[in-house]
Chains A and B, each alone.
Chain A
Amino acid sequence: MLTPPDVALAPLLPILLVLAGAVSSTVLGFHLPRRTLTAINLVLLLLSAAAMALLWSGPGELPATAFGGSLRADNAAVLLGLTIVAGSMMALLVSLDTAYRARLSFPEFDAMLMYAVTGTLLIAFSGDLIVMLIGLEVMSLASYVLATLQDSRRAEESGLKYFLLGSVGSAVLIYGLALVYGATGSLSYGGIAAATAGLTPGNLGLLVGGALLLLAGFGFKVALAPFHQWTPDVYSGAPTTVSLFLSTVVKVAAFAGMLRVFGGALQNAPFWASALQLLIAATLIVGNAASLFQTNFKRMLAYSAVAHTGFLAMALLGTPGLGGAALGYYLLVYTLMTGAALAIVAALQRTEAGMNISDLRGLYHRHPGYAVALAACLASLAGLPPFAGFFGKYLAFQAAFQNGYVWLSILAVLASVAALVYYLRPAMLLFMPDRTPAREYPHGQRPATNLTVALGVAAITVLGLLPNLWYGWLADPAIWELLAGR
């Protein structure tokens, strides 16, 4: 007997709004200038954020769901979705100023970006593995195109690499997904979580195998070593605006998926955590060690994104209540500080290859505002108080430490000391006296970029001084203990 599908509009609305932006950019691209489309998309993103805020469920309320629980608009989804929207808006705002120079200023850029955002929101709102996979693929396909969109060899190389390696990652992920389904007989997070309790040894083997393959697949998406190698090439090869998008929004979405799958569905499954800690250790070492040796600032930021993956993933090792809150806080802060730093690179670079670290010397005397903002971002990335990066790192380390990962926490602390070196060296150069000619792009009005940078720096400063502004929303452990639903 057929049952009518369980469709509810409210939890779908944030995603549909973004999708509407994507479709309208595709269709209206023939008639409207790109700036108008971008403005429309920014408005739609804001509306989507408002729709998410309305979905916030207070204590005791059940979260809204659709499609029989396949789409869950719980508080975790709302919080992660808001982070995604923040990152997407930063990328769009920056593109207003720089897309033209990067030869990216056509409607397809907006369309692809909004499709990718649709996918990321699907991941954050997912209630079963299929929706998560659809979201992941929508996001990935759109971001492959984004990386390739610029008409240059560097971008083509970067996009093709991303696509080929992404296919490998997706294949591994889908294989793991199949194994998990085989072991538990369910695709929904709740069903998997319920089934993990009483498994026969044979099925347990399948489950662990599947979990490890999922870990490898997600490891590719978030750039955990040894699945990280695409990151520096793609981030530094893609246009800077795209790198901004990839390193913030896409990474947040991949972490949202990991949180759903490992913190929700597989939270009682054995072994993945001890495998994850090995990957994190490798990531911390590789990311931080390699960052030390970069001469190009944009590429250094790419490696720093790898290193940050290690720090972020530590939150996954915590107990769900503490770790989820830590990850939620750190992801927003990470988005803001990385976004602001890359926005400055996008504004000042002469070519899309970014600039050399040595070119930053004396920036303070030429662009005092950018120099101070960049120094603040770097200090926050390095985890220095009073900036929010400090609290993010602190919460993530605390989550892992309290759940018994002592040696990993020690390694992470040592790694962040090494990180101080490569973050503070450019920060110091900014304020050095300099008599060589400026190497920044000299022209242009950049009101949108300035707004993005100002908002980002203000946010990381305020969130560092008053972390509860954001953490207060996240702190309720119940949000993160019910990621898979009841």
Chain B
Amino acid sequence: MPLFLLPLLPLVGFALLILFPRLFPGKSGGWLASGTVLASFVIAVTRFLGQGDEPAREILWTWLPGMALNANLSVGFWYDQLSALMALIITGVGFLIHLYSVSYMGHDRQFTRFFAFLNFFVAMMLVLVLADSYPLMFVGWEGVGVASYLLIGFWFSGRNSEASDRDIREASDREGVANSNAARKAFIMNRIGDLGFMLGMFLLYRLYGTLVIPELAERVDGAQVAAAGVELACLFLLVGAVGKSGQLPLTTWLPDAMAGPTPVSALIHAATMVTAGVYLIARSHFLYDLAPGASTWVAWVGALTALYGALSALNQHDIKKILAYSTVSQLGYMFLAVGVGAYSAGVFHLLTHAFFKALLFLSAGAVIHALHEEQDVRRMGGLRRFMPFTHLTALMGVLAIAGIPVWSGFFSKDAILAAAFAASPLLYVVGLGVAFLTAYYMGRWYFLVWRGEYRGSVAHPHEADGLMKVPLGILAALATLAGFLNVPTFLGGGHAFDDYLGRAIPVHGHEIPISTEWLLTLLAVAAGVGGLLWAAAEHRRRALATGPLGAASANALYLDRVYDGLVAAPSRALAAGLDVVDRGLDGALSGVARNSAAPGGLFSRWQSGFVRTYAVSMLLGTALLLGYWALRTIGGGA
């Protein structure tokens, strides 16, 4: 089946839902949206099963003049192992989250619109990962940015804007303003990243004369290009990736993005969109292989972000914020992996993270639902009694993210840590520390929400309904078992995932003695178990509500405030100054405008309606033309 169907089906769903919302009463819009994504998933599976070793390229139509090698750039899709995998993740996890949303968003007034946006997002994300050229990838890149903006600000007027009670309405208004600001923040910070992406594209085109990815991959080897140029292009692309993936320094939008509905956080801000930066770097591996300097930057950006996210997650109180900072931190892991050249490890972590983080978010959503929009973990606790199924699935997620053996996170994190060890001991130490912190804050999340006694105000929290349980169950199974796709050699595994992806992206094997690998694995397991035990001990002392680092962590290391001081305050001052100038200019300009509007009135008066005046102006015009020429000729000829 042709590749264009993959993004086309959700796009058709989007068009139907946004243009004819009235055709879809009740929940039928949600079912339609889920159906299109399911159809895309089926196509992705059939394509995956029929996939050969050779990548496929399917060209649709000619698009931009000149931007390919001696040809016009065409809109085309590129299907290799990497894009196959991404398409499977996007449609598979996407479908589960659509399904979950049918129940989760069931009472929302804008139910159909929500699914229209979700479908739009899936379509754009598929364009992003299937694109055969950077410009087309940029189309998807911008598209998911728009979808993200729309969905973060989905409750732009608050959830109770039409409530009869005045206090509720005012609170809802405040919430609406906060949501809108979060959406704008995400959009604007992404713009900075997009600028980097664009500059990277310009530079690549300047260096190689093409923006088609397979053509570039062939050309970079033989081309005589200044190394500094490639380094710079890779750094520009890194800026783009950093913006989209919420890495340092453009990270602060991602925690705020939790203002969107929880399925959005699960799909866009955990499983798929934010991993686009990792995908971009893995896709551009042939460039980064030539740019060791830029790769080191990638690795360090990732390591520092992982640390930053973990430290910020330690003392959060919002059930989703903890997960959000954890996402920031896990994305840092992926950047670390692709930065040290372990593309396969990075993408594998992307896969497992998509499962367990989506699972955790959806579990959090079920909790929020059960507690009537309560999000503060200090007012939860003991929910394991009320929601046994969700508790079980959430536990699977926690074990996976903490890196406990046989759960998927163990295998993927271990691969990254081994690669980091082979590259630089310092990176490894940071990575190991983050693993320890991760286990702790996820343990804290688990104990605060599920264990201990119930501290909430809702009398009888209810278990998620059947429709929400299905995705939870499937994701829990995947989060538990996906690790066996890539069991490393020293554990007697077949590392099937590395082999598969290796056909598209080179796997740089690292030379570590088996004994060392065992040691590294034991250390990683010790970090995970240790972190969980620490959390359990604190839980026993009932001291979990306040995490370590106190206010510094709760305020996300004050990064927002730093940006406010460094960027926002000066630009506000600048804006105030410009405002004064503007008002002055405005007065002057409106004076000018009043005077220049006069000709418009004059022209209308000239339009008297009398034929004779019209004829006179025609003849006068002719005479003027001839007179002008006569003057020019006399002047020039004399």
Secondary structure of the A side of the interface? helix
Give every chain A residue within 8 A of B457 (Cβ-Cβ). none
Inter-chain contact B619/A292, CB cutoff 8 Å: no
Among A138-146, A228-236, A378-386, A423-431, the one that faces the other chain is A228-236
Inter-chain contact A271/B618, CB cutoff 8 Å: no
Q: CA of A212 to CA of B625 in the docked complex: distance in angstroms?
A: 7
In the assembled complex, A226 has its CB within 8 A of some CB on chain B: yes
In the assembled complex, A358 has its CB within 8 A of some CB on chain B: no
Q: Which of A216, A229, A292 contacts B600 (CB 8 A)?
A: A292
Inter-chain contact B629/A290, CB cutoff 8 Å: no
Inter-chain contact B614/A278, CB cutoff 8 Å: no
Q: Which of A219, A226, A290 contacts B620 (CB 8 A)?
A: A226
Q: CA of A161 to CA of B629 in the docked complex: distance in angstroms?
A: 30
Please encode chain A, from 150 to 174, with 1 for each CB lying within 8 Å of some chain B CB and 0 for all others: 0000000000110011001100100
In the assembled complex, A62 has its CB within 8 A of some CB on chain B: no
Inter-chain contact B603/A289, CB cutoff 8 Å: yes
Among B259-267, B284-292, B513-521, B604-612, the one that faces the other chain is B604-612
In the assembled complex, B28 has its CB within 8 A of some CB on chain A: no
Inter-chain contact B615/A208, CB cutoff 8 Å: no
In the assembled complex, A374 has its CB within 8 A of some CB on chain B: no
In the assembled complex, A466 has its CB within 8 A of some CB on chain B: yes
Within 8 A of B (CB), among A167-189: 168-169, 172
Inter-chain contact B618/A226, CB cutoff 8 Å: yes
Q: Which of A165, A205, A232, A233 contacts B615 (CB 8 A)?
A: A165
Q: Which of A209, A229, A290 contacts B617 (CB 8 A)?
A: A229
In the assembled complex, B628 has its CB within 8 A of some CB on chain A: yes
Within 8 A of A (CB), among B274-306: none
In the assembled complex, A9 has its CB within 8 A of some CB on chain B: no
Q: CA of A289 to CA of B603 in the docked complex: distance in angstroms?
A: 8
Q: CA of A215 to CA of B626 in the docked complex: distance in angstroms?
A: 11
Please encode chain A, from 213 to 232, with 1 for each CB lying within 8 Å of some chain B CB and 0 for all others: 10110011000011101101
In the assembled complex, B622 has its CB within 8 A of some CB on chain A: yes
Inter-chain contact A289/B618, CB cutoff 8 Å: no
In the assembled complex, A100 has its CB within 8 A of some CB on chain B: no
Q: Which of B615, B622, B628 contacts A213 (CB 8 A)?
A: B622
In the assembled complex, A286 has its CB within 8 A of some CB on chain B: yes
In the assembled complex, B106 has its CB within 8 A of some CB on chain A: no
Give every chain A residue within 8 A of B600 (Cβ-Cβ). 289-290, 292-293
Closest to B619 in A: A168
Give every chain B residue within 8 A of A468 (Cβ-Cβ). 62
Give every chain B residue within 8 A of A293 (Cβ-Cβ). 597, 600-601, 604
In the assembled complex, B462 has its CB within 8 A of some CB on chain A: no
Q: CA of A166 to CA of B615 in the docked complex: distance in angstroms?
A: 9
Give every chain B residue within 8 A of A290 (Cβ-Cβ). 600, 603-604, 607
Within 8 A of B (CB), among A263-279: 271, 275, 278-279
Inter-chain contact B625/A216, CB cutoff 8 Å: yes
In the assembled complex, B632 has its CB within 8 A of some CB on chain A: yes
Inter-chain contact B603/A227, CB cutoff 8 Å: no
**What is the total number of residues of chain A having a CB less than 8 Å from a CB of chain B?**
35
Inter-chain contact B614/A229, CB cutoff 8 Å: yes
Q: Which of A160, A165, A213, A289 contacts B599 (CB 8 A)?
A: A289
Please encode chain A, from 225 to 263, with 1 for each CB lying within 8 Å of some chain B CB and 0 for all others: 111011011000000000000000000000000000000
| A209 in contact with B618 given A285-B599, A286-B603, A289-B600 (CB within 8 Å) | no
Q: Which of A160, A205, A227, A230 contacts B621 (CB 8 A)?
A: A227
Q: Which of A219, A220, A229 contacts B607 (CB 8 A)?
A: A229
Q: CA of A220 to CA of B618 in the docked complex: distance in angstroms?
A: 8
Inter-chain contact A216/B629, CB cutoff 8 Å: no
Inter-chain contact B621/A165, CB cutoff 8 Å: no
**Most B Cβ at <10 Å: residue of A212, A215, A285:** A212
Q: CA of A58 to CA of B84 in the docked complex: distance in angstroms?
A: 44
A454 CB to nearest B CB, Å: 14
Give every chain B residue within 8 A of A227 (Cβ-Cβ). 617-618, 621
B105 CB to nearest A CB, Å: 25
Q: CA of A219 to CA of B619 in the docked complex: distance in angstroms?
A: 12
| A219 in contact with B621 given A289-B599, A290-B604, A293-B601 (CB within 8 Å) | yes
Closest to A205 in B: B633
Q: CA of A160 to CA of B612 in the docked complex: distance in angstroms?
A: 12
Please encode chain B, from 44 to 70, with 1 for each CB lying within 8 Å of some chain A CB and 0 for all others: 000000000000000001100000000
| A161 in contact with B618 given A212-B629, A293-B601, A468-B62 (CB within 8 Å) | no
Q: CA of A229 to CA of B621 in the docked complex: distance in angstroms?
A: 12
Closest to B622 in A: A216
B601 CB to nearest A CB, Å: 7
Inter-chain contact B621/A226, CB cutoff 8 Å: yes
Give every chain B residue within 8 A of A226 (Cβ-Cβ). 617-618, 620-621
Inter-chain contact B629/A164, CB cutoff 8 Å: no
Name A's B-contacting residues (CB within 8 A). Answer: 160-161, 164-165, 168-169, 172, 205, 208-209, 212-213, 215-216, 219-220, 225-227, 229-230, 232-233, 271, 275, 278-279, 285-286, 289-290, 292-293, 466, 468
Question: Would you list the 7 A-B pairs with minimal beta carbon distance, nearest first?
Answer: A226-B621, A216-B622, A289-B600, A229-B614, A290-B603, A293-B600, A212-B625
User: Could you list some 18 contacts between A and B, CB below 8 A?
Assistant: A161-B611, A161-B614, A165-B611, A165-B615, A168-B615, A208-B633, A212-B626, A213-B622, A213-B626, A216-B618, A216-B625, A226-B620, A229-B617, A233-B609, A275-B625, A289-B599, A290-B604, A466-B61
Name B's A-contacting residues (CB within 8 A). Answer: 61-62, 597, 599-601, 603-604, 606-607, 609, 611, 613-615, 617-622, 625-626, 628-629, 632-633
Q: A165-B611, A278-B628 are known contacts; what are 18 more A-B pairs with Cβ within 8 Å?
A: A161-B611, A168-B615, A169-B618, A172-B622, A212-B622, A216-B618, A227-B618, A229-B606, A229-B607, A232-B607, A275-B625, A275-B629, A286-B603, A289-B600, A290-B607, A292-B600, A293-B597, A468-B62
